[in-house]
């Protein structure tokens, strides 16, 4: 059995493998194991669902984990009020199709009540933290699934699969529990909750290959379409109610698609002719810029933007 | 604002290689201070093109600001793994960071474990899920006490493949004699530990220069006396731990939960034509196969702690609407059984007749990971498989000197100590020797007060049972 290797040894070790799972199968099995652990060990989990591709993949994994039963937890959407209408439509259809309960936390309601203030730059992504924590507390969710991946950002690279949050939803990178083998420690005290990231180990390319393999439906704006856009901060921004060009910003029609779907006021499109999932897989495999670098104004605010948001209780 | 396309890379990733069959390989890195680990990790990511243009631009800007003049176009590759602001401000690395890259043969998950602070905690964490660990040695310094400690931890954790990268070979003028001497020292330590000669683990030594890239991704012409593979080639071809174990006839399946939808079938499945009548009484046990494989028709034992094993037959292996004939580690599936036993979370389904009785006496190595020391008489929680039970620490029977591999007397364990302890469990568990069962031989020790993880536990045989010499500390 042992393959004691000396430098003269030719590396022929594949014979040991009787079965070999593909990397996608292995990642899928790992994610399903984590989803089942959380459901078994927590009183009241919920899944963050934005209609973005990572949360759509998470929901798909949950349907597989409990087949033929229903997904045994509600989905939670933190609505910035600056959504792409087609994404909200997609969200509602998905919830209906799977017979799920939808809980919505609304940034707009907090602004209307004076509990949150609009930012000067108009971006609402960082404002989601307060309604998120409010929804977690008022619904007594003790575990919240997210579609965060470690390849997205260097703060996320140090995130645990089960990440303990205190009463204020804060992430403390210096006091994380060591995560050993496939034994996940989700113990928490009253007031604390746990964020669970079952697709931590997936890359953007894995997500797209999985969407292709499983034939998963996504909101149409992930695929190439014509849209009125203007250039800002080195990104193409869609013209919409909350996203208006300044006088010097020319509006033109371009064939674009989105690599991430967030708040309309800070999510940019990329020029792309990738109209099918296969086209997108090839584009992502060949892309030379990270998805957040390409399309998220909120991550350009500072080098540690994600780290700061996470410490404050962000996703 | 356009998505730049590197078509050559796309072709390599998608067209030439059947990506669908590329496997996943997890490895960790361990090293001492200043042995160039960050540079090596940066080099692997850079040369395998896992670093995208915007990340490289950011690193290039910082390199220029700091006046770095090294190879790779004046880019300090170590910055690619630069971590959180809190770490940069304090000049430390907080803990394990995970990186991802792929070649046309494999997808890699790299657990980058800092070496200087809490090296035991970080190495144990990274190594617990790793198929391989790369240990760095500075060619100018050779095998250090730290190296012995690292190798000792890796042997205890039974990491399948240990690769020692002798780094900075450029700084010893690519000297074969320096390399051979270090290689011989490494093999000597390996023999003392049983690492690489125990039939379970490999030990391989590779000369590299992380700074210049020699033998990292491509074989180097500057080390003509070395005819072995480059580091990445090694990582691409070694079998993953699950592959090594999947042939074993020791099927183990801790039950996570029971899938019994009764009336609550998934609406999308029903809309897709699922026969509601047929599935009204559906009952299956969901879990992840931790070891071995199972086929429909196999005889299995259901292990419920405190009860005699019950033997039955596997009647179905389901996965999300597909019926499988066979499944193996690490697949997540749902298993149906012939007899309507009362099976619940915490039970284990195993190949019939292969598991010894559950036991409430636990003898183990503990890798202590908490600043709160372990004392005899402490009450803790033990999490094993899908079951958590209370436990009493009856005795601490010494701690291991990692440099000499000798057991020293000790009645408590402190942060980063590895020791031997005896625990009494409130309920018996189907414990197995970690040496032979990496999953069912592993457990966590948890603080019942705040829920924190205190230790990584490795089950030993009971004294008096036949015991492997390597575990006789």
pLDDT tens digit string along B397-434? 999 988 788 889 999 999 989 999 999 999 999 999 99
Q: Are residues A132 and A270 in the same domain?
A: no
Q: Are residues A28 and A174 in the same domain?
A: yes
Number of domains in chain A: 2
Contacts of A254 in chain B (CB under 8 A): none
Collapsing DSSP states into helix, strand and coil, what is residue B322? strand
Give yes or no for residue B229 having a pLDDT over 80: yes
- At A295, is the pLDDT very low, low, confident or very high (cuts 50, 70, 90)? low
B308 vs B299, which has greater pLDDT? B299
Query: How far away is chain B from the Cα of A184, in angstroms, using its nearest Cα?
Result: 9
Q: What is the pLDDT of residues B77-93, one digit of tens each?
A: 666 666 666 666 665 56
DSSP state of B13: I
Q: Are residues A164 and A101 in the same domain?
A: yes
Please check whether residue A2 lies inside any domain of the structure. no
How confident is the model at residue A305, as a pLDDT?
61
Give yes or no for residue B246 having a pLDDT over 70: no
CB B311 within 8 A of CB B300: yes
Collapsing DSSP states into helix, strand and coil, what is residue B314? strand
Give yes or no for residue B21 having a pLDDT over 70: no
Candidates 2.40.30.10, 3.10.129.10, 3.30.470.20, 3.20.20.10; CATH matching B246-351: 2.40.30.10
H or E element in which residue B154 lies: helix B145-156
Contacts of A101 in chain B (CB under 8 A): none
Collapsing DSSP states into helix, strand and coil, what is residue B138? strand
Q: B246-351 and B359-471: same fold?
A: yes
Least-confidence region, from A3-12, A21-30, A104-113, B322-331: A3-12
Contact status of B398 with chain A (Cβ, < 8 Å)? no
How confident is the model at residue B11, as a pLDDT?
52
Say which CATH number the domain at A131 has.
3.40.50.620
How confident is the model at residue A283, as a pLDDT?
85
Q: Are residues A250 and A181 in the same domain?
A: no
Least-confidence region, from A202-211, B67-76, B393-402, B456-465: B67-76
> ipTM more than 0.85?
yes
Please check whether residue A140 lies inside any domain of the structure. yes
Q: What is the pLDDT of residues B361-410, one digit of tens each?
A: 999 999 999 999 999 999 999 999 999 999 999 999 999 988 788 889 99
Q: What is the pLDDT of residues A80-109, one digit of tens each?
A: 888 888 999 999 999 999 999 999 988 888
Contacts of B96 in chain A (CB under 8 A): 158
Q: Are residues A290 and A141 in the same domain?
A: no
Give yes or no for residue B469 having a pLDDT over 50: no
CA gap A313, A167 in Å, rounded: 10
Burial A152-175 (b: 16+ CB within 10 A, else e): bbbbbbbbbbbbbbeeebebebee
Q: Which residue from B244, B319, B330 is facing A16, i.e. has the nearest CB?
A: B244
Q: Are residues A157 and A247 in the same domain?
A: no
How confident is the model at residue A15, as a pLDDT?
35
Q: What is the pLDDT of residues B431-449, one digit of tens each?
A: 999 988 889 999 999 999 9
Please check whether residue A4 lies inside any domain of the structure. no
Q: Are residues A78 and A184 in the same domain?
A: yes
Neighbours of B123 (CB within 10 A): 31
What tokens were used for B379? Answer: 């009450």
Q: Which CATH class is domain B359-471?
A: mainly beta
Q: Are residues A80 and A145 in the same domain?
A: yes
Q: Which residues constitute the domain of residue A290?
A: 219-301
How confident is the model at residue B200, as a pLDDT?
75
CA gap B279, A181 in Å, rounded: 35
Q: Do A188 and B451 touch (CB under 8 A)?
A: yes
Q: Which residue from B228, B260, B332 is facing A33, i.e. has the nearest CB?
A: B332
Query: How far away is chain A from the Cα of B125, in angstroms, using its nearest Cα?
Result: 5
DSSP state of B267: H
- At A60, is the pLDDT very low, low, confident or very high (cuts 50, 70, 90)? very high
Contacts of A268 in chain B (CB under 8 A): 1
Q: What is the pLDDT of residues B45-64, one digit of tens each?
A: 887 766 666 666 777 777 77
Give yes or no for residue A315 having a pLDDT over 90: no
The topology under which CATH files domain B7-243 is: Rossmann fold (3.40.50)
- Could you give the percent of chain B with pLDDT greater than 70? 84
Collapsing DSSP states into helix, strand and coil, what is residue B268? helix
Please name the residues between 243 and 272 in chain B that touch chain A, using a CB distance below 8 Å: 243-244, 246-247, 256-257, 259-261, 264-269, 271
Q: Are residues A198 and A282 in the same domain?
A: no
Give yes or no for residue A294 having a pLDDT over 70: no
Domain ranges of chain B: 7-243, 246-351, 359-471
Q: What is the pLDDT of residues B168-180, one digit of tens each?
A: 999 999 999 999 9
Contacts of A20 in chain B (CB under 8 A): 21, 23, 243
How confident is the model at residue B376, as a pLDDT?
94
What's chain B's average pLDDT? 86
DSSP state of B15: I
Contact status of B452 with chain A (Cβ, < 8 Å)? yes
Q: Are residues A152 and A85 in the same domain?
A: yes
- At A32, is the pLDDT very low, low, confident or very high (cuts 50, 70, 90)? very high
- At A290, is the pLDDT very low, low, confident or very high (cuts 50, 70, 90)? low
How confident is the model at residue A21, as a pLDDT?
85
Task: State the distance between the two ends of chain B, measured CA to CA, in whole angstroms.
Answer: 61
Collapsing DSSP states into helix, strand and coil, what is residue B233? helix
Determine which of A19, A67, A217 to mutate to test the interface with B (most B C-beta atoms within 10 Å): A67
A–B CB contacts, 8 A cutoff, strictly below: 307
Contacts of B10 in chain A (CB under 8 A): 282-283, 285-286
Please check whether residue A158 lies inside any domain of the structure. yes
Give yes or no for residue A291 having a pLDDT over 80: no
Least-confidence region, from A208-222, B116-130, B185-199, B418-432: B116-130
Q: Could you tell me which of A148, A146, A143 has the C-alpha nearest to residue A193? A: A143
What's chain A's average pLDDT? 84
- At A311, is the pLDDT very low, low, confident or very high (cuts 50, 70, 90)? low
Give yes or no for residue A259 having a pLDDT over 60: yes
């Amino acid at each position: 059995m042992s393959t004691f290797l000396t430098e003269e040894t030719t590396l022929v070790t594949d014979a040991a493998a009787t079965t070999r799972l593909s990397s996608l199968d292995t990642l899928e099995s790992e994610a399903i194991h984590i989803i089942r652990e959380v459901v078994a060990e927590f009183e009241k989990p919920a899944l963050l669902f934005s209609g973005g591709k990572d949360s759509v993949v998470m929901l798909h994994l949950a349907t597989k984990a409990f087949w033929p039963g229903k997904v045994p937890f509600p989905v939670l959407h933190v609505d910035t009020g600056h959504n792409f209408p087609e994404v909200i439509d997609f969200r509602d259809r998905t919830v209906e199709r799977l017979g799920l309960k939808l809980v919505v936390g609304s940034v707009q309601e907090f602004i209307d009540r004076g509990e949150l203030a609009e930012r000067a730059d108009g971006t609402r992504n960082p404002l989601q933290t307060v309604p998120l924590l409010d929804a977690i507390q008022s619904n007594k969710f003790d575990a919240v699934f997210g579609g965060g991946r470690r390849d997205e950002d260097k703060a996320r690279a140090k995130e645990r699969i089960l990440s303990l949050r205190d009463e204020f939803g804060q992430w403390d990178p210096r006091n994380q529990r060591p995560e050993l083998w496939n034994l996940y420690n989700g113990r928490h005290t009253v007031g604390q909750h746990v964020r669970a990231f079952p697709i931590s180990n997936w890359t953007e390319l894995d997500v797209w290959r999985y969407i292709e393999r499983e034939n998963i439906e996504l909101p149409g704006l992930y695929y190439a379409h014509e849209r009125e856009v203007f250039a800002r901060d080195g990104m193409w921004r869609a013209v919409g109610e909350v996203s208006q060009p300044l006088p010097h910003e020319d509006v033109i029609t371009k064939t674009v698609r989105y690599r991430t779907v967030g708040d309309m006021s800070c999510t940019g499109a990329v020029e792309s002719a990738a109209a099918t999932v296969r086209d997108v897989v090839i584009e992502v495999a060949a892309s030379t810029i990270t998805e957040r670098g390409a399309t998220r104004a909120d991550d350009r605010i500072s080098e540690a933007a994600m780290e700061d948001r996470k410490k404050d209780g962000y996703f | 604002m356009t998505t730049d396309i590197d078509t050559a890379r796309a072709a390599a990733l998608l067209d030439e290689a059947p990506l669908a069959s590329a496997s996943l390989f997890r490895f960790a890195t361990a090293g001492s201070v200043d042995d160039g680990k960050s540079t090596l990790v940066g080099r692997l990511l850079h040369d395998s093109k896992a670093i995208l243009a915007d990340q490289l631009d950011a690193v290039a800007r910082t390199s220029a600001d700091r006046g770095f003049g090294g190879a790779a176009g004046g880019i300090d590759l170590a910055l690619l793994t630069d971590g959180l602001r809190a770490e940069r401000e304090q000049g430390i690395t907080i803990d394990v960071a995970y990186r991802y890259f792929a070649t046309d043969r494999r997808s890699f998950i790299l657990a980058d474990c800092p070496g200087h602070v809490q090296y035991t905690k970080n190495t144990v964490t990274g190594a617990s899920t790793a198929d391989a660990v790369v240990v760095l040695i500075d060619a100018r310094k050779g095998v250090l006490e730290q190296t012995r400690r690292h190798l000792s931890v890796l042997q205890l954790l039974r990491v399948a493949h240990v690769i020692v990268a002798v780094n900075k070979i450029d700084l010893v003028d690519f000297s074969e004699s320096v390399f051979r001497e270090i290689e011989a020292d490494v093999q000597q330590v390996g023999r003392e530990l049983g690492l690489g000669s125990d039939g379970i683990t490999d030990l391989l030594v590779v000369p590299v220069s992380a700074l210049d890239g020699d033998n990292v991704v491509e074989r180097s012409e500057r080390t003509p006396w070395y005819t072995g593979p480059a580091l990445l080639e090694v990582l691409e071809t070694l079998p993953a731990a699950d592959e090594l174990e999947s042939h074993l006839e020791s099927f183990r399946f801790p039950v996570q939960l029971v899938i019994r939808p009764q009336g609550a079938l998934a609406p999308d499945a029903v809309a897709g034509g699922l026969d509601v009548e047929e599935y009204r009484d559906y009952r299956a046990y969901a879990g992840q196969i931790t070891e071995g494989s199972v086929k429909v028709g196999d005889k299995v034992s259901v292990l419920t702690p405190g009860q005699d094993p019950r033997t039955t037959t596997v009647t179905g292996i389901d996965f999300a609407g597909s019926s499988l004939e066979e499944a193996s580690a690490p697949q997540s599936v749902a298993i149906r059984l012939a007899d309507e036993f009362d099976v619940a979370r915490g039970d284990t389904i195993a190949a019939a007749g292969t598991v010894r009785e559950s036991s409430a006496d636990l003898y183990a190595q503990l890798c202590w990971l908490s600043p709160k020391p372990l004392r005899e008489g402490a009450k803790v929680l033990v999490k094993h498989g899908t079951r958590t039970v209370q436990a009493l620490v009856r005795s601490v029977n010494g701690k291991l000197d990692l440099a000499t591999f000798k057991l020293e007397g000790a009645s408590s364990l402190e942060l980063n100590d590895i020791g031997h302890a005896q625990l009494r469990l409130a309920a018996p568990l189907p414990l197995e020797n970690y040496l032979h069962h990496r999953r069912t031989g592993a457990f966590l020790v948890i603080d019942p007060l705040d829920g924190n993880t205190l230790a990584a536990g490795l089950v030993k045989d009971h004294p008096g049972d036949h015991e492997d010499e390597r575990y006789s500390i």
